[in-house]
Each structure stands twice: as C-alpha cells, then as structure tokens.
Structure 1
Amino acid sequence: MARARGSFRVLLGAAPGVGKTCAMLKEGHRLKSEGKDVAIALLETHGRKATELSAQGLEYIPRRQMSYRGMQLEEMDLFGVIERHPEVALVDELAHTNVPGSVHEKRWQDVEDLLDAGINVITTINVQHIESLNDVVREITGSTQKETVPDKVLRSATQVEMVDLPPESLRERLSAGLVYKPDRVDAALSNYFRVGNLTALRELALLWLAGRVDEALKEYRDSHNIKAKWETRERVIVALSGGPEGEQLLRRGARVARASGGGDLIAVHVTSEDGLAGSNPGLLAQQRSLVEKLGGTFHQIVGEDIPDALLDFARANNATQVIVGVSRRSMLSRWLGRPSATNGIIEKSGDIDVHIVTHSFANRGFYLPKHRESMALSRRLVGFLFAVVSVLTVSWLLLNFSSTQFAQRDALILQLLVVASAVIGGIIPATVAAVFSGLAIDFLYTAPVGTFHVIRLADFITIILYVIVGMTVAIVVDHADTRARESQRARAESEMLASVAGAVLRSDDPLQAIVHRTREAFGFTCVRVLKDGQVVISDGEPSLPKDGVSFERDTVTLDEHGPSLELYGHSIEASDQRILTAILSQIQTVLEHNDLAKKASEVEPLAAAEKIRTALLNAVSHDLRRPLAAATTAVSGLQRMGHAASERDRRELLAVASNGLKQLTKLVTDLLDVSRLREGALPLSLVATDVVGAIIPLFDDLNIGPWKVDLDIAPGLPLVVADPALLRRALSNVMVNALRFTPDDKRVRIAASTFNGIVEIRVVDQGPGVPDESKEEIFVPFHRLGDTDNTTGLGLGMALSKGFVESMGGVISAEDTPGGGLTIVIALRTAGENMKTGQPIPKSEQPDSAGVLEQDTLNVSGAVSDVILPLPGSGPSEERGLDRFINYGITRGGASDDDRRGVAGSADSGTDGSDSGSSDSGSGSGKAHDPADDIVVHSVADLDDGANGDDADGHDTADSKRDEKRLDEKDLAEKSED
C-alpha cells in the first residue's frame, strides 16, 4: 500500500534575519519533547552562534560531500534522509539551488521527494523567493531573484506560518551583527535593508499570506455548504451592465475597497438576453482593462435573472458589498415593464450591503423645474378635453346600461371624473366637468327623466350642491397641486444652493464648479463671469440662434462695481432671477476670497523675508564682528609693538589676522553660493570623481583622524558624477554637523557603497538624532534645529550641502541611525565604466543645475554662511592626510559584489539572508590594508583657501577661541565689543 504524503509546513519571512531558522529549530525541539522523531536534514547557520546553540539537542543527518570547480561543497543527502526516514525533517532555505550533479536542481524538488516518501517537512523561505512576486520584489529592491519557488508548491503546504519582525527591530539586529558580519552591515543597511524596502516586503508577505488564508476559508465554506456572509475581509463587487457608466462605478468601487483597508475589487458582468441594455463589447473590454489597472478581477457570468445571478456569485465569493448604478431605464419603461435589476438586487440582497451610485448617464444634469403661477396651457387643454370626453362617454354608458336605482353610485362615478379633471387640468377643466356632470345627473335621474327640466326644488338644490361640491374639490386639488409645484421648486432651489455651497467647500476650483453647475441646472449654452469688463471664467460656448445673427443673452448683476453673470442660450424668467442673484453673491464671495488669498500669498514671502533679514542681521552682526575684531586687534598689536615684537609674536599675530580674514572670505563665499543657488547659476564642473579622493582631504581640513572617524569604503567603488570641490564642501558641512553632535566617547562613521548604479556616501553619527517630522527642516536655510546657542551661526551649512548635491544631480536625505543618532545619505550617479578620474561628463549626461534655495526662500540682498574653522584634533599635528591612515590603518569594509548580491537575496549566491545566506559567498575581512593598495588620492582643488565645512549650527570653532585667548594673554589690545 502506498504511503500517505507527509505534511508540509512552511515558515515565511519578509526579509533575511527575521528569525525563521530559529523558529524552525524551536518547533523541532517542541515536537521532540512530545516524543516525535525529529532530525535536521539541512541547516544553514552562516556562522551564527545563536543558531548553532538552538540546534543543539537535535539529530543532524550527515550532508553529502560534493566537488564542484575544485571546491568541496555540502548539500542535503536526499537518499540518506529517506533511508533514515525521521518522522519530521527540518530543511532550511527551500529556494536554494543545488550544486550541479545533485539529484534535483532545486531544493524544493528534494522536499517534494521527502513528502512523497511520507516524511513530514518543516522548511523556511523568504517572500522574495515566491515566483509570483518576483517582479514586484525586483521593483521594490532593484535586484532580481533567480532562485524562486513555484506558487503551486507553497499552496500545497499543509500550513504556512509567517515569522514577523518590524523593520526597525530588524535593522537593529543587523546593526548589532546578528544577521551579517560587521563588514557587510553598512552595505546592507543602505541597500536591501532600507526601511522602505523592509516595510514593502513585509506588506507583500502579509498580503500573500492573507490570500492563502482566504483560499483555505473558501474551501472550508464550500465543503460545508456555508452561504451566509462572513465579513472576514471586505470584498466589493461592482455590477457592470456593459454601459458607459461602468468606468464611474469601477472607480467608486476601487475607492470603497481602499477605504475599507485594502479590500478586494471584483467586477461582474451578467450576460442575459433581456438585460437593461445591450452590452457594448468595446466598453466591456475597456472596463476589463481598467479593473486590472485598479488591482481587481473581472468575471463574466451567464444568468437569466440578473439579480439572482449576481447575488449568487456574490455569496459564493463571500462578498460584503455590491455597487450598482442607477437604472438607465426611463420612468415610462419602468411603469410598463418589470422592476429594474437595481431594485431586484436591493430586494434580494439580504445581508449584503448594496450601494446605489448615480451617474451621468442616468441623470445627465440637475435641472430646476420651471416656476409657474398656474398650470401650463397644454396641460389645461388636456384636462379640458378629458373633462368633456370622459363625462360625455360615461353619461352615454349610464344612459344605456344603468338605471335609476343606481343613481348614487353613478353620481359618485361622475364626481370621480371631476376630481380627475382637476388633477389633470386644474380648476377650469374641473369646473367644466362638474357642470357637465350636474347636467348628466339632471338628464338621467331627475323627473322628468330624459330632459333637462327640473320640476322639484329639492332636485334643483341637489344638482346645485353637486356642482358646488365638484368645484370645491377641484379648487382644493388645484391648490394642492400648486403648493406641490412650489415646494418642488423651493426644494430644487435649496438643493441648487446647497450644491453651490458644497462646491465652494470641497472643490479644488470652486468658481469653475459653480459656473458649471449653473449652466447645467438652467440649461444655458454658456455661462460667463465678468469683473471689470473682463471674463474671469467661462463654461460652455455660446451657440448661434436660428437667425444666425445674434446671441440670446441675459446679464445678472449685483452692483455696478461687483461681478456679473453673462448667460447665453435663452432668456431668464423672473422666478430664476432670485436664485441667480444668490449664486452671483456666492461667486462674489469666492472672488473676494481668491483676492484675499492672493494678497496673503504675496505678503507671506515678504514676512518670511523680513524674518530672514532679522535673523541675518542678528547673526551677521556677530559672525562678522568676531573675525573682524580678531584681525583688527592683531594688526593693531603689530602696529603698536613695531620692531619690539619678537619673531614668534609676529608669526602668531599674523596667523590670527590671517585666520580672521579667511573667516570673512568664507562668509562672502557662502553669501555668493546662496545667491547662485537661488538663481540656479552655480558654476559646475562635472567630472568623473573618486569618492575617496573627496573624503580623505577632509581629515586635514577638519583636523581629525581615525581616533574620531571610522572609514568604511567598499572595494572597487566606481567613480561618480560630481564636481570635486562642491562634493568636498558638501561632505565637509555634513561631517562638521556629525562631529558636533557625536559624544566624545563615540565615533563618526563614513561609509561608501554602490548599489544599482548609485554610489551612496553615508555619514553616521551616534548623537541624539532628529525626530521624523523635523528631518526635512535640517535642510532649510537659516534653520538651526535644537541649537543651544541661537545667537550664533546662520544654520546654512546643511542647506548649502543640499544645494550642492542636487545641483550635481544627486540626492541628500536624513535617516535614523539604528541604536540612536542621525545618518546623512548622499546618493550620486556612477560615471561610465570606462571613464577615468577627472574626465569631463558629456553634456548629454549632465543633470539640470537646480539649486535648493528657491526664489521665495531668500529675498535678502545678501547672506552669510556659518563660520567654520578646522576642529581641534588629538592626533599628531605633523601627520597630514593619508599619512595618518598609514599609522592607524583604514578599515576597508563593505560588501563585495558577491556580498551585495547576497544581501539582496540573489540567486547567484543562494542566499536567504539571516536564515538563508549564501554558503559560499565571500565577505570583507575587515582587516587593515596598505593605503597604497586600496586608496588612490586624487588632487582636489582647494576652494577659497581651503575647503572648511559650512557648519550647520554656526558655532565658533576652537581655533577662533584659541586666537582670542592668545590676544588676551598678551594684552595686545583692548577686547572688542562682542
């Protein structure tokens, strides 16, 4: 007898490192404690001690040794596992590609054999390895996964369980070295393990798993013949008739589905011989395409009764809501025929919610009913004709087929004709009917019968009363009809004014909405709003009348200075004048509001500029005074001391003066840069630039070294498209900011890596960090976030860095540092593979130069940047530039190309990350390298006597303070006013 197939349990993860392998081992221990025979068929620990410890106590089935290209590799011994035949086999990394020469090409095929052999299997997989999601993952991460598992394999699983971890927690694990080796962490954080990537992959995994759960639920409902609606998930069905209203219904359905938290959108068309209207195949094809674009599914079913067929489909799919359009049938066809499909759906829907959506094809416009003091002449004529013909016809019938014993019944029949005449034609036809009815009663029932003579007074009084009663009823009916028409008109006017008010509140362009609504409601061909003789807005086009000579036009005005409405198409009635005047008042309000908004928008930049001026004056008065005072004092000291000054004093005083003048030059340079960025006129010289050549000089410029900064450069880093001088200044500003906020016992990390044609330079500090809502503000000019001393500096350094980077076609952004702090990321495009350092970038490949400072941001005739001087260092002053790293060593971490593919879960490396990393991919060693082997320093032109950073916070640096101290010690001059 054939063995029963084993159970198949899958542990799904959104990304490497969430803990799938540990969860699998934990489950193995639990099953073993219950007395089950559990063995590890294959486990990838990737050198992680925690994973190895978790596996202790479980039996290992020896792997099969295989030789490939001179290497000894290990794979799962399929036949050995089948021969051992444990009750439960633990198999890691389901998507792994086996070494050539194995029994199967893929590990999931090995698992199929284990299941067929009756062995229960628990395995792990990441969402990026699911075949149906491969293209989605590529769009999210930028990497293509060659190792995938067919969906049918995963859908055959007895149980799928998701092992989840929030993105922030996963990044913290990665930073702590619990996922990859330390030399691969920065590359992983900046590429595959971005917060956005992890969030998207997590959502993808949850949605896939939700779909799998939904399939299981549907199977259960079908097997148990459950028809009742279970609101486990919103499913919105849109009923399509094949008419032009389908697009509106689909878009409404998509909004309802999204509003319900990502519900399913299902479009259904019922084919029937007696549908509401013949379906248009072309429209249905367009609507099918639209459904797919909206993320829904399209179904076409056959059913004689549309409501029954649609609702049967809805219940079978556990739908919660049905959206149908207002019937396109005319009122007459609905009176004469059977109820519309819409009404049938409502009556039979049961516990399914039904949304009735109006559309332009059911009611092409909202029209105000004509206001009339009395009934129309045509209606009166019809009523008059009905009164005469109906009374004469009934009188003839009564004369030939009735008798005097039924006089009371016949009188009531004639009275009913009077009421009907009043309803149809009003009081005049009803009066005629009453008189004719009285004559008919006299002729048929009063003596002498057959004549119009009245002998008895009682009969005469009866006939008179009969006519009076008939006329009274006619008057009441006519009065009620008049009140109904007036009420209808008043309701329509109220709705019209309400819609106009709603347009003012909700519409993006309220003026256009009001004008369009007015033209539609009153049936004009064109409506224009004029102010001061100029057309402000227009809706529609005037059409020539039949004479082809002149337009029929009316004008509504409020006063001679206000706006006016120009109306084309027909003349307006006196009753319409009132509501049109109200609409014009609303239009005037909108115009006034627009004028005020325009004035406010003009005043706001002026107010902002005034605020900036004040900040500039306050900061410049300080930042100009300090270096100027130092230089002036030094020169004055030289003048006073004359020849009495020693050579040492002279050098020191000249250094102080030179330092102050350099600071002033720096202020002027930044002022010019602000102006150039604002005007988009920043001079650029884009060349193929070596990132290392831009980073290394910063250690001299800022007087820092490896005792404060870790340098982590990925091997083989390509050249980037940049202006070397501007890149150096941008990095200097970012570095100064990072150094300022990093505690003394912490270090700043500079990492550079490449991914998908982009080189990212990350400056990582471990300071207090910046709240998410304030991250964009650090790039705003004159903004000093969290400064303790707001009397110094312009807060311009980071804004200038943003302008420099974006002018080079790059992007600069701020992220949280895992564990606390701020990471500034500068992303630049890579140069061509064959380009050499310093080679100009072709014009066709250069980005448009656009500065970060917009025209409205700075309406000040000048700006001064922060005063930046070299920061004090603790290392030997005689060691300069690259020589420092000869003594201290450079950690050239980062992932190699193979490593980065491993981080992204590439098939080439067979990696699954935390639980599925490549078993044979290399990694950086993290050891010190000879700089001559790893780094080539290219000359970078100094900018304005040295590229000192533009300090984002604007605080004075230590050199300036030391200069002041020297002056104080020597008493060369009086202290200048601070």
Structure 2
Amino acid sequence: MARGRLRIYLGAAPGVGKTYAMLQEGRRLRSLGAEVVIGLVEPHGRRPTAALADGLETVDRRTLVHRGVPLTEMDLDAVLARRPQVALVDELAHTNVPGSRHTKRWQDVEELLAAGIDVVTTLNVQHLESLNDVVRQITGVTQRETLPDEVARRADQIELVDLLPETLRRRLVHGDIYPADRVEAALTHYFRLGNLTALRELALLWLADRVEEGLQRYRAEHGITAPWETRERIMVGLTGGPEGETLIRRAARITARTPGSELLALHVVPGDGLTHGDPTALSAQRGLVESLGGSYHQTTGEDIPQALLRFAEAENVTQIVLGASRRGRLSLLLRAGVGQRTIRDSGPIDVHIVTHEAAAGTFASRPPRPAARGSGPARSWSAFAAAALLLPALTLVLTAARGSLGLPGALVLYMLVVVLTALVGGRGPALLTAVAASLLADYYFTLPLHSIDVARTVDIVVLIVFLAAAWLVGTAAGAAARHTRQAVRATSEARALSRMAVAMMRGQDLPALLEQVRENFSLASVSLLERAPEPGPEPRWYVVASTGDRPPERPWDADVEAPVDDRLTLAARGRGLSGDDLRLLTACAAQLGIAHAHGRLTRHVAETDTLAAAERTRAALLLAAGHDLRAPLGAAEAALGRLSDLVRAGGPGGQGGPGGGPDGEAAHLLSSASASVRRAGALVTDLDDLSRLHAGALDLYLRPVDLDEALTAALDDLGPGGHGIVLRLPPQLPDVIADAALLTRVLTTLAADALRHSPPDAPPTLIAETQPDRLTVRIADGAIGAPANGGAVTDRPGDSLPLRLSRDLIEAMGGALDTTTTTGHVFAVTLTLPTSAGRPAPAPDHQGRGI
C-alpha cells in the first residue's frame, strides 16, 4: 500500500488563515473528484471558517471524559473506517486528551498516512521543537505543545500562509481572531508588532531552509554539480597558517555585503587523510568562523584544488576566497599554486585571491613535505615521469660537455637523478632509472660511441659499479622516504586520536565527536549504531548518535563499517577508505564506544545519586517522624491506661459510673484503643529500626543460634495466642547463623501477623525444614474458607511494614524472605537462613510435633 501524502499549511501566528486555506484546498480537491472528509477542524468561533466547512463531509468526533469534563477529539478509527482519499486535520501539534490512542495528533496523522490516506493539516511556526526556545525569548510565552521538526520535514508539501503583521493586528481588532474581551490583552502582549514581525521572519527562514534541502536533494538525484546561484555561498579555504584570520574576516565582509548569503570555511587535509595544519591555529580559526555566523568544515583530498572545487560543487558555493601563495617564485615556476589551479578549474565559481602578510615569501624556502604527496601507484608514475624528463635533458647537457666530464662525471650526475627518483617513487622506479642511466652512459660516453658495445674493460667495471651503487642508493633512499611517510602517518594518526581523546576529556557529546570523525575522513555522514538486545529473525539497530546528510540507520546501509563490539558499530556513508584509513577509523570507533559507555555510566551514576539522595531524605523523614510520634503515642497509651483504670474503678463499690456498675462497652472500646495505640507504637519502632538498618546504624551480632530457643522465646512473647500456632518441626534442628534477638523479633512479628489474619478455627502453621547448608521456616495463615471475624475475603499485602522490616533484617543476617499467596487465599512467609558449619544438618523429617 502506498503511503499517503502530507501537506502542511504553515503560519507565523494564530489568525493568519491556515485553517481557511486548508478548507479551501479541501473544496478544490473535492471539485476535482477526490473523496474529502473533515477529520477535525477547529474554527475557534470564526464564522467565515465555519461557513467554509459547511458542505464538506465531517466525521463525528469522539467524546472522552477527563477529570469529569467531557472533551472531544478526532475519531481516528472512524476516519480509518471511512477511508477517504483526503482527510483534513487541523492543528498538527495538538496534544490529545488522555485516554486517546496516541499522545499527539501528529501520531494520529502518521497512522492515516500509513493507511494510504492523504492528509492536509495546519501548523504554527512556534510549535516547532527547534524554535521553541527562540519563540519563548521573543514572546515570553512557553509553548507546551511542540512538534518534532523531523515530522514537518517529512511533509511532501509545505505552504506558507503569510500575512503582514499590520493586517493581522487589524483582523484582531475587528474581532476576526479572538473574542472582544481578549483583544486588548493580545494586542499588548503576544500580538505586538515586533513579535509578529520576528515570528514571520522565523517562519520564512525555516521554510527557506526546507526549500534549500529540497533543492539539494533534487540536484543530487539528477546528478547536477554546477552551482545554481539561488543563494550566495562564500567559502574560505584555510590551511592552518597565519593568514587564516585575514581570509576569514575578508570573506565575512563579502558575506555581510550580500543579504541572505552564507559563510563556509573549509580545511583540506592533504594526501594522508589527516590534518597537517597547526591544530591550535585551526581551532582558533574555527571559533572565529563560528563567531561570525559561519560554519567550519573539513575534507580530505589528494589534490587540494580538486578537493576545494568538489566541496564547492556539493555545497552549491558561488564564491571562493583563497590566500595568496606563500611559495617562492622559483617554486611557482616549477608548479602552479593552489590559487592558480583553482582558478583554472573553477568554471562559473568566482575565486578571490587575497593578499596577506605571510605572502611576502617568509615560507618560500620551506621544501614540500613528501608526505603531502600521493602514495602508491600515483607516486610511481610521478617518479617515472620525472625520470623520463630528467634523463633526456641531462643527457643532452652532458653530451655537450663530454670532453670535460667524461664517463665518471656523467655517472655522478646520473646518480643524482636516481636518488631523486628513489625519493619520489621508491626502489622500483630507482632501479629502472639506474638501468636506463647505465644504457645512456654506455651509448653516449663509452667507446665505441653511439653503440651499446664497450671496448674497454674498465668502462664495463665502472658501469657495473655504478649500477650496483645506484641500486643500493635507490633502495636506501626509497626505504628512507617510505619510513618518513610512515612516521608522518603515525604521527598524524596519533594526533588525530589525541584530538579525539582531548575532546572526550572536555566532555563533548557523541554528535560532536562523530562530526570530528566525519570531517577527518571526508565522509558524507556517520552514525553510531547499537543492536537491540532482544533476539529476532532480523537484528534491530538503533541510532545512538549521527551526523551528516542521510546517516545510515543500519550497518548494511553504510559504505564503510567499523565494528566496536558485538553490539556497537560505526557506520559511514561517503568515499571508500584505504586500509590505513580503515584501521584508524576502527581506532576512532573504539574511542567512540568508550565515550558511549562513559556517557551511559555517567547517566547511571547520576540516577543512582538521585535515588540515594531520595533514600537518605526518606530515612531522615522516617527518623524524624518516629522521634516526633514516640512521645505523643506514649502519652496516649498512658492516658488510655489511666482511663481504663478509672472505668474499672466504677464497678461494685466504686464511684465511676452513674449506675454504680462498670460500663462494659466503654471498657471494650478502651481495650481496643489501647491495643491500637500499642500497635502504632510498635510500627513507629519498626520504622525507626528500618531507618537505622538502611543507614547502617543497627548493630548485628551474628553467631550460631538454636532455633528451638528462638521459637520458644517468640511464642512466649506472643502470650496465650502463641500456644495456638501449629508447629511442624524435625526431631533435631541445626543451629542457624543469625542475631538471636533480631531473629526472635522477626519470628514474633511474622507469627503475630499470621495470627491476626487467621480465623479462630484455623490457626496458622509453622513448618521448619533442613536443607544442605541452610534451614527454611514457613509460616502460613490458617486455611480460610471463610474470612476471619466475619469480614470480606481480602488478599494479604506482601509489602507491609512488618514484612518489609522482617525481610531487611533477614537479608542483613545473610538469609532471604519470600511471600506467596495460594489459590485458597493462604498467605505464607518463607525464611531461609544459613546453618552453622559446626553442626551438620540432618536429613529432613516431616514427622512434626505441635503445640
């Protein structure tokens, strides 16, 4: 099924006519035979808008109740069931009423588009997520409803509904936008002339950027490389030299004189794919470019002028600003400078050559770096070309001076050509150059002349020695040049990795680090991808961070991939990389993996710190509450005890009751109140102990404890009720490792809780079983076919305060506590405690004994 098309009417402010334009488009499409329905339209009481909606089929809204108030929303299911060709849906950024299928209306629209329904909708520029903070600064109003920019960018058509600010204010005064009671406040606040002008400019600029994106996409799809001067783009070429700031300021002045133009700065990394300019100077120049409103870029190229022009064509640059060459005149005679070669191949792009202080020749004596040239076959062909030019020229000069130099002098000069060839191309070209030089020396400088025959034996020896020496010197020179290139390469790699490490130490986020990688390797886009942990027929990948145009979302969408581990990989689109560059990219990917892990760990630590702070606050509050409640509870218990004594004193022979006898109902109520106060006091004690336990202030004395003694003490603490508990214990119980007092307290608490929730005819059960290296104690409520005390059957909470304290105490002693509820509403608590190593645990014996 084909996806529907999305058309957005964009406005700078409410009231410019977006909904009106949407309804007009709906009527136009219906006149052309399309099925058009209104999914949702908000006329806001504007009569012309409501009148325009009459006659168009409308899908009834869905009513939802939120906080007791009935609210209406678009009935998404009804629109999908109606399945029109076009749906009109107003206010794309709207937040749906809680209870709707989706949180946002744009998500409803996405579902309509996925169903193949075209959607026409409206949007105000202040609702775009990227402009939310700018709009707040301009208007002082925070927009609560926002729309991700990516949703708007995916629209097939965006049309600006424009209105002059003065006209919009007149519409407001005439009551065409808001009711009369809101006009004055709107005119003096949101609808101020300056606000409307700024919002209109924001809308125009945002839409212009979207048009630019569409233009770039069209040029890429149709293979158009020639610049289209729809907008002036001035690019300044930077080398990292001292002239950079002069060039940037000159380009910025050109940009300032051309309204709507854009400033770009480009540094081309020559040859080996890594920066050779001064990193400090480049960093300062980058900051200057960005402070002047421009953008900094970096690319790699064997040929600097071609790299400049390639980037200029890709970015639709119209003017290039370059500095005058710092090379000397002799060097320029041998090879044209970057500026001259750029001018020669620039075509319709204007090139400005700017003079500067460093162009006077300060750096003219510096020889070119071998590492800045090509490598591999390109270097070999350059060496062959140099030999093909130098050997004939030198032979021509030597034949003219044959009488004065002779064979030895000629061979010495030929040796210079061999050495130069070795420096450029390595051992192979040097050897071939030596053979060619030997043949030329034989032909022109040995008797008989102009023949390859050698008449004298000494000349044969000299030529053989020359050939051997030339081979040795060429080999040594080639190896030295190769090692120099490798050293430069290694230094550059170390510098690149160091820059990334420094950026990580400074806390730069992953998108900034990925942008550095993209620029270093001249890639179109880079993504850090993470594979989803859940298994599936096809692995699912998530984009952790990305940069560049159309970054890959899956590894197989990329041109280059550098895995970090089995779940993380670095994927890139753009040019192919050499083996050395791929190795360096893998090292950068490893650093990015470390940065990602560090960021995740930092977030986890922050969350842990937040939870720890909340836990400390909770513990402090519990301690304070326990301290404050202990005194009034004690006073209430004493008062109830005194009142109970007074009631009992009102019996026969007492003076307490008006009838001369005790008030039985009052005595029962006083007894219940006293029990409740005592229970509240016990809860406060439990809260205090729980807080002390979490704070590490509760002392534990772990030692072997006889469980029989602990059970006996617990049953004694329960009083008469404890004798009703059914015990099923093996004949011999091993000692458990625990704190005797705390274990007795836990058993008492759990047994009392079980008694309280068991009916009188079904007492709770306590079962102990021995297992290897541990002992389990299970305390279960009585089987309740009917609820205790005639009440309703209710499930026991597994996280009550007594259970929580008991669990924490048992875990502090190295044990475990679990709760279960069976189908018959039987609630059971199981304690597991380690046994003493000094007493072996006997086999379990289910022959129990009871009390």
TM-score between both structures, scaled by the size of structure 2: 0.42
* Larger RCO (alpha carbons 8 Å, 6+ apart): 1
